[in-house]
Amino acid sequence: MTAQAGIREVDVLISGASLASAAAAKRLVDAGYETVALERHALPRHKTCSGILSPRGHKFLIENFGPLPGEILHEPTSCQGVTFHFRGMVQMPMDFDHGPTPHLNRMNSDYWAVKRSKVEVHERTRLVGLEDKDTHVDVLARRDGEDVRYRARLVIGADGPNSQVVRCLYPGYRQSIPWFTVRQHLHEIIECPLDPRYFHFWFHPELGYYTWSHERNGRQIVGVGHEAGDDLDQRHRMTLEYLEEHYGIKLKPTDEREAVINNFGLSLVNRYVFGKGNVIVTGQASGFLNMIAEGMSCALHSGAVAGEAAVEALVRNADLQSVYRSMISSEVRRCSDQWNPLKIIFARPHEADFRGALSELPGRQKRKVILEIMRFLYPWGKYNWGRQILWQGLLRALRGGYSPSRWL
């Protein structure tokens, strides 16, 4: 690489400054590589997320970044587990393995993790384009309306569900997958009998694909999710009515709401996007999302793998794609196992005991839960994921892993 005026040269450039990015950066900075993370927002930035960290994510944060300071938590500061709700008022509380986990304030927790990684962050700097030149990658970013140029030996896309890195690498990709919108509404509480120690999730197809509630800093979050373009106002209204009628939950009108778009589904059908050439993709940008949209632990772990793969490629002058794709297969197994019916029936892929909780229900309720889950899944039929999930599950049983041939 020859230096050019006005172009910042680095070993590795990361797009995004969130959890996947912090984990990747930690590996690179620790190994002595000059690494810059671009973040489109000023830090600390807001992030729409329930913030319930899984036990595995909790362990990762402590091991990599140290004990969690109080200011990175919301009230209640911990979450004991998840309660699944079904029509007919059947409820299944499930505690997380090894006790309660932290309730993260994503604005502060992500900033804390990024700072602890010691990566150099360029804030308010949005990656807009990249060109892989074989020996290096030229990156175009924009800050305060001005172009900013970088030249990196390698690039890591850790820029979340609507990744610009993925768009640059695969121009038609955005149109090839279904998109979903989730919206959370914050309400002051008049009366709420839901147990505040749990994250509550409803298997109720008429309310939407993703309906949840939990307490945060004295307010109640009511969230709804469906296909992008759906009328979420209507779903939110229906959910509030349903919660009041069946649970006696009374809330004041919404005083804040936020919506985000999501690339849900890729981990279910083993369709991850890991990049090409000198550019790899990680975290939710690559499709990692665990059961009930728990994405922080797999963002952290996949991010760390991306960082390690980049270090390995730089140290050994090895092909980045081969190194990353071989190393990431363990995280793919972990994540896709969570959606694999064979694993759910015959193993225990989650960090809360679904089968144990189900077996404790009386016989009639058990049958109702299974029936309600099938009813809940029925509308998803149009995405043709069912057969793919089953086929991938069978291959997983036969070969011990998920086929890399389905990855982009």
Q: Which residues bind ligand FAD (CB under 6 A)?
A: 15-21, 38-41, 45, 47-52, 126-127, 158-160, 164, 182, 184, 223, 260, 262, 283-285, 289, 293-296, 299
Grouping H, G, I as helix, E, B as strand and the rest as coil, residue 287 is: coil
Please return the burial class of 384, using the count of CB atoms within 10 Å of its CB with bins 0-12, 13-18 and 19+. Answer: exposed
The number of CA neighbours under 13 Å toward the Cβ of 276 is 11
Smallest separation (angstroms) from ligand FAD to the CB of 244: 22
Smallest separation (angstroms) from ligand FAD to the CB of 161: 6
Grouping H, G, I as helix, E, B as strand and the rest as coil, residue 49 is: coil
* Nearest to ligand FAD of 18, 83 (CB atom): 18
Instruction: Please choose, from the candidates 209, 214, 206, the residue with its C-alpha nearest in 3D space to the C-alpha of residue 224.
Output: 209
* Nearest to ligand FAD of 51, 275 (CB atom): 51
Smallest separation (angstroms) from ligand FAD to the CB of 49: 4
* Nearest to ligand FAD of 291, 365 (CB atom): 291
* Distances, alpha carbon 47 to alpha carbons 196, 327, 352, in Å: 22, 29, 25
The number of CA neighbours under 13 Å toward the Cβ of 216 is 25
Smallest separation (angstroms) from ligand FAD to the CB of 110: 7
* Nearest to ligand FAD of 154, 365 (CB atom): 154
Please give the Cα distance from 312 to 310 (Å, whole number). 5
Smallest separation (angstroms) from ligand FAD to the CB of 183: 8
Instruction: Please choose, from the candidates 113, 120, 116, the residue with its C-alpha nearest in 3D space to the C-alpha of residue 35.
Output: 120
Residues 373, 321: contact at Cβ < 8 Å? no
Residue nearest to ligand FAD (CB): 295
Residues 227, 345: contact at Cβ < 8 Å? no
The number of CA neighbours under 13 Å toward the Cβ of 39 is 23
Smallest separation (angstroms) from ligand FAD to the CB of 303: 7
Smallest separation (angstroms) from ligand FAD to the CB of 153: 19
DSSP letter at 53? -
